[in-house]
Amino acid sequence: MTVSAWEAFWLLVQRELRLSFRRPEQLLQPLVFFLIVTTLFPLGLSLQLSLLRDIAPGVLWVAALLSALLSLDFLFKSDADDGTLEQLALSGHGLTVIVAAKTLAHWLVTGLALVLVSPIVGTALGIPVGAFATMLGSLALGTLTLSWLGAVGAGLTIGLRRGNVLLSLIVLPLAMPLLIFGAGATDRAISGTNPAGALYLLAALCVFTCTLAPFAAAAALRITLE
Amino acid sequence: MWTWFYKLASPPYVYRVAAALMPWFLGLAAVTIGYGLIGGLVFAPPDYQQGDAFRIIYVHVPSAILSVTVYTIMAVASAIALIWRIKVGHAVAAASAPIGASLTLLALVTGSMWGKPMWGTYWAWDPRLTSELILLFLYVGVMSLRSAFEDPARGDRAAALLAVVGVVNVPIVHFSVVWWNSLHQGSTLVTLEGPKMQSSMLWPLLSMLLGFTLFYGAVLCIRVQGEVLQRERQSAWVREAIKS
Amino acid sequence: MSGGGFWYMGGYARYVWPCIGFAGVVLVWNLWSARRSLAAAKIRASRALAMAASEAR
């Protein structure tokens, strides 16, 4: 029974989601990490809520970045360990489709979860409700871009000793423009100026990454699996 | 017409040419850097705004321009190596990385030292400075990735892919002063009306730029010999080559 | 030339000279490090060849 590329894509997404929900700890860990990191900043700085508002976008975004890095481990590792990744690569559907499916599923259970939790964290950091729309939008675009950048990095570092340190070293420099625009958009929304410009740039970055990263990530996997 | 391209793909040819060219590159680099330093530090008049502090330009600008150029060369060599599977490309990329990283560090440090008298601060999170810092991280990432693999061929390919992905940062570094309100000054040399600098200041600067480029060429020649040897250890021509 | 002499650099000596100095350090390091890695590569290559020759025997 041959399956078209689209069908393979959706089947794979469903598989990834099903597997993720079978191990809920894997989903909860990055989320809890996100909550803990955002708590560390106010504890360490002991600021009042009104002053916390100034650093809130940055804190939110750094925490999102770090917890995304933590979760990237799950993207390819378990499949690479038991040989499923090679089987998928040999299946004839093209690594690009496989990578796209895995990354989308990964974002749905990590990035999207982060976005849904962010109003709680935002309130705890003093972000006014009026800025929530921008905060949610920028985090949604940002985490999606991050999942893709992470896919490229993860593809390059599967199975390396201390691969996660190297993964951070690779992904974080590439993610810096993301941080600048994402935090900048939320910052603008908080202070009352129009965040549209920063959001458009963030969207442009997202589109750019989503179009090119699948090919880069597939090439990375090809190098690692050879 | 393409024979020179094919020759460049041959490791023994590259090894011989690099060994032969190196003294020329180094000698010319010494002359041009010498002229640039004397012209810039001694004979150029002090800037009417910055006084003698502007003389930092003679090491800051060449190292900054070269930091970006070397990354581009590394990315192009990597792409050639990945697409056409030409191992010499990996050798050139691996040889260029430490040179480019050190020049990026030089650009950041001299820029920081210049920032204090000029802007009042050693650092600012401004687009050009930030993207240059990202460039340094990218260099380090490429070098770390290459050495993390046990299989050197795989390490070469992984590092090459990362170098190509990171080349996105290069236009950001260059255009950052155009796209954003930057603390860093805009383009002085490449403008529509020609260079905005008087000739007694300009010629030593151009000479330093040429000198640094020639110096990169010389060091590249030395490093690429070693990189080629490492990748071709099993070949017959190596026996003759290392006798020298 | 500026007042105070060449080394004084119009008061900016503590910015200008460390920059020139660090530039010199970077250039020298590049040459030294490159020479070292080439020497090491030659040694490794001759060792690999010696091993291959002794295995062939």
Residues of A in contact with B144 (CB under 8 A): 166, 169
Q: Tell me whether residue C23 is in a domain.
A: yes
Q: Which of C14, C42, C51 to mutate to test the interface with B (most CBs of B within 10 A)?
A: C42
Q: Tell me whether residue C36 is in a domain.
A: yes
Q: Tell me whether residue C5 is in a domain.
A: no
In the prediction, which pLDDT does B214 show?
A: 97
Q: Is the pLDDT of residue A2 over 80?
A: no
Of the partner residues A156, A169, A223, the one whose CB lies closest to the CB of residue B140: A169
Q: At residue A202, what is the residue type?
A: L
- C1–B59 C-beta distance less than 8 A: no
Q: Residue holding tokens 């255009």?
A: B175
Which A residues in the span 132-171 are in contact with B, Cβ-Cβ below 8 Å? 152, 156-157, 160-163, 166, 169-170
Mean pLDDT of A43-65: 84
Q: Tell me whether residue C6 is in a domain.
A: no
Count of pairs with CB atoms under 8 A, one residue in A, one in B: 53
Is the CB of B15 inside 8 Å of chain C's CB atoms?
A: no
In the prediction, which pLDDT does B1 show?
A: 58
The domain limits of chain A are 5-225
Up-side HSE of residue B140: CA atoms within 13 Å toward CB? Answer: 19
Determine the Cα–Cα distance for residues A56 and B126; give it in Å rounded to an integer.
20
Of the partner residues B42, B51, B239, the one whose CB lies closest to the CB of residue C10: B51
- Least Cα distance to B174 among A107, B182, A62 occurs for B182
How many structural domains comprise chain C?
Answer: 1
In the prediction, which pLDDT does B244 show?
A: 59
Q: Tell me how far apart the terminal alpha carbons of chain A are, to the nearest angstrom.
A: 27
Determine the Cα–Cα distance for residues B135 and A173; give it in Å rounded to an integer.
8
Is the CB of C46 inside 8 Å of chain B's CB atoms?
A: yes
Determine the Cα–Cα distance for residues C48 and A32; give it in Å rounded to an integer.
52
Share of chain A above pLDDT 70, in %: 100
Residues of B in contact with A152 (CB under 8 A): 161, 165
Give φ, ψ of B126 to 5 degrees: -105, 155
Which residues in chain B come in under a pLDDT of 70?
1-2, 190-193, 244
Segment C1-57, tens digit of pLDDT: 445 677 887 888 889 999 999 999 999 999 999 999 999 999 988 888 888 888 876
Chain B nearest C-alpha distance from A173 (Å): 5
Cα dihedral across residues A75, A76, A77, A79: positive or negative: positive
Q: Which of B71, B147, B165 to mutate to test the interface with A (most CBs of A within 10 A)?
A: B165
Q: Tell me whether residue C48 is in a domain.
A: yes
Of the partner residues B82, B134, B158, the one whose CB lies closest to the CB of residue A156: B158
Of the partner residues C1, C38, C52, the one whose CB lies closest to the CB of residue B226: C38
Q: Is the pLDDT of residue A1 over 70?
A: no
Q: Which two structure tokens, joined as six digits, stand for B40? A: 């810039």
Q: Which of A76, A156, A157, A168 to mutate to test the interface with B (most CBs of B within 10 A)?
A: A156
Residues of A in contact with B75 (CB under 8 A): none
String of DSSP letters for B88-115: HHHHHHHHHHHHHHHHHHHHHHHHHHHH
Of the partner residues B225, B229, B234, the one whose CB lies closest to the CB of residue C52: B234
C-alpha gyration radius of chain C: 23
* Beta-ladder partners of B47: B51
Q: How confident is the model at residue A118 (pLDDT cuts 50, 70, 90)?
A: very high
Segment B155-203, tens digit of pLDDT: 999 999 999 999 999 998 888 887 777 778 777 776 666 777 888 889 9
User: What pTM was estimated for this model as a whole?
Assistant: 0.90
Cβ neighbours around B43 below 10 Å, total: 12
Nearest residue of B to residue C17 by CA position? B56
In the prediction, which pLDDT does B226 show?
A: 94
